[in-house]
Chains A and B, each alone.
Chain A
Amino acid sequence: MIEVKNVTKTYGKKEHLFTALKDVSFTIPSGTSVAILGKSGSGKSTLMHAMSGLDRPQAGEVVIDGQDILRLKAKEVDKFRARTIGFIFQSFFVQGNESVSDNVSLPLEIADVARSKRKAKIQAALESVELLDKLHGKAKNLSGGQKQRLAIARAIVNEPQIIFADEPTGNLDSVTGEKVEDMLFGYNKEKGVTLIIVTHDADLAAKCDMQINIKDGQIESIRDSRATKTTGKVRVI
């Protein structure tokens, strides 16, 4: 469960002060798929950074499974990210010069996973995004959709509890974008992983269990479609 309590984030000082997030609070049950929806500059990316421990807001709490990650030391936050969070970005950020396998291996190396266990994990992750045949190929030889699938494999390889996806389909055409969406939601349902998608795409947001609308650093509305759907299941991790 993720509890965001009264989070406020400001940039600059005095007359240049800019409030990116203003007293934001909400709760996300484990295993939910959530869309953080908003226009560019609305504060949705800042919110994602705060929830993932990349950024430290000036006030408020981000409690994940009972632990306020904003109170953790830098070292602990890094460890937390390496073990519990997976990231997917709009521009993929796959390392073109490296092999597909080395790209997926990075989170395992950072999380100090024993070398003997890595190979199986990498293969499983690549298999679930249908890229196992490209294992030894260079990442730069992949198409855009394949690159984003590779990024998904990298995000899930260490079996995180939360996946943050920042405009995952923003750079993809609708067909490949749909495939990537299916994979993300499939993984979310199958493993009960909390999926948080930051987007301005209303269609993509509609596929999520929960929509959090952000405007000018404040929550405009929260819609929980699970209340009306029966397919969503809540799982406590």
Chain B
Amino acid sequence: MKITDTIRRAGRSLRQAKVRTLLTSLAIAVGGFTLTLALAAGAGSRQYADKIISSNIDPQMLMIAKDKSLFGEGDAGSTFGVGGLREYSDNATQYSGLTLEALSSTDLEKIEKRSDIEKVTPTYLVNAQYVTFAKKADKKYTSDITVFDTSVKPEIVAGSLPDGKQQIRDDEVVVPEAFLQTLGVTDKQAFIGSTVTLHLAKMPTQLSESEMQDIIAREGLAGLQKYTQVEARDVALKVRAVSKQSVTSLSASSALFISENTARELSDYLTKGTDQYRSYVSVMALVKAGTDPVTVKEALAKDKIYAMTAKDAQGILFTIVNLIQGIVIGFGVLALIASIFGIINTQYISVLERTQQIGLMKALGMRGRDVSKLFRYEAAWIGFLGGAIGALLAWGVGMALNPWITDTIGLGEGNYLLVFQPLPIAILLVSLIVVAVLAGYFPARKASKLDPIEALRTE
């Protein structure tokens, strides 16, 4: 029997039992629906994560640190934020409540001397006590302060940015659009050129008892007061540009951008006299174009200096996405397993119902193999139908829900959680067909083994 004839006959048998066919394929459709949504959510999340990474990190950028735990790959596999018992190091620095080993000056030198690294920028910690804006001078605000990243430029709604990879001037600042809303500023153009003042407060130097006694002996109590007083400094900056509100560009929406020189100067000022002076937990290094950041990362690892590439950052995000996707896929697979029993059951009933038909076909010389094929193709049709219904339903639901999801979890315009790609759906369909055919194996075998004489006995 020709395959096309078998497929046609299989399709016809199914059409003759429409309700049963539909119900059986609906069981598969549940699995297909869940799996399609899981795949779409995975694809969407990865796209979104990709977008976030690329709008925040230059692919050639390496984040370099002495302490692996900063990247969530500590010795005990502890993730960022989870502490543990660690060996003491003279070079350790407090960072976000964690004790992290900072890069020593020799480490920094090693990095800077590398020929494949174009530029090294330490991650300066500039903590302003408060920030004031000339446009609303009566109020004090707090804000994160970051170095303007020349490699990943933010979008601008007012003002301008320097061309190419140039830094902004040392007395300039880029303000996020969101800040203007808080300030109640509506005329963005007029905001350009206005003054932003960073109020820095330097904590007094920690003195030991003997040092204190020395000072009192030398300069008296007044002298001691001078040493332990909080030192303050105001830095006035001019607004150069207003960066556009973007969901994917994290720093551009939430921090003031200052020039690298200013950041270094302020960081030095704040840490001078402390053990954190010129000691950085991490530095950003720009790898020269044409060199794979991974090779630099591996070379640095030999010196016990650790780095994270943009891809690694992506990997961390993807791990979470993959885990969640895996869980949803697990549920889909469970639904599929349930549907397998449905197919086996229906096909068995179908074989019983069509005993005479099978007997006739075998009497007319149809091979047992072809009879088995007929039933397996029927199962394949059911799998295809179920998969198509599930995928189509998932697509419809996804398309309808996407705007709402984007709105609810704030993905930002143009970003969707559920992204339907044709290839994974096609692969899914094929695997559903395979699963259905496997489920139809036993009923098909029963049909092929049927004795035509028994099947056609009418007495």
Contact = CB atoms under 8 A, between A and B. Distances in A.
A110 B1 contact: yes
Given A87-B364, A97-B16, A49 B458 contact: no
Interface stretch (B260-268, B355-363, B428-436): B355-363
Nearest to B4: A115
A106 B9 CA distance: 9
B359 to A, nearest CB: 8
A82 B365 contact: yes
B453 A110 contact: no
Contact of B458 (A52, A54, A91, A95): A91
Interface in A30-63: 40, 49, 52, 54-55
Contacts of B458: 89-91
Interface in B321-369: 356-357, 359-367
- Most chain A CB within a 10 A radius of its CB, from B364, B367, B453, B459: B364
Interface in A67-116: 75, 78-83, 85, 87, 89-91, 93, 95, 97-98, 102, 106-107, 109-112, 115
B209 interface: no
B113 interface: no
A231 to B, nearest CB: 31
Contact of A109 (B2, B356, B357, B367): B2
Contact of A54 (B356, B370, B453): B453
B contact residues, range = 20 to 34
B12 A109 contact: no
Interface in A149-183: none
B134 interface: no
B2 A54 contact: no
A54 B12 CA distance: 27
B12 A98 contact: yes
A219 B411 CA distance: 89
B250 interface: no
A87 to B, nearest CB: 6
Contacts of B363: 52, 54, 81, 87
A100 to B, nearest CB: 14
- Most chain B CB within a 10 A radius of its CB, from A40, A49, A78: A78
A109 B10 CA distance: 13
B138 interface: no
Given A95-B357, A97-B16, A110 B456 contact: no
B1 A109 contact: yes
B452 interface: yes
- Most chain B CB within a 10 A radius of its CB, from A54, A81, A98, A109: A109
A75 B126 CA distance: 86
Contacts of A79: 365
B355 to A, nearest CB: 11
25 contacts: A54-B452, A75-B367, A78-B365, A80-B365, A81-B363, A82-B364, A82-B365, A83-B365, A87-B363, A87-B364, A89-B458, A90-B458, A93-B357, A93-B359, A95-B357, A102-B12, A106-B361, A107-B365, A109-B2, A109-B9, A110-B1, A110-B366, A110-B370, A112-B1, A115-B2
Interface of A: 40, 49, 52, 54-55, 75, 78-83, 85, 87, 89-91, 93, 95, 97-98, 102, 106-107, 109-112, 115
Q: Closest 9 CB pairs between A and B?
A: A82-B365, A81-B365, A109-B5, A97-B16, A78-B365, A110-B366, A93-B360, A91-B458, A107-B364
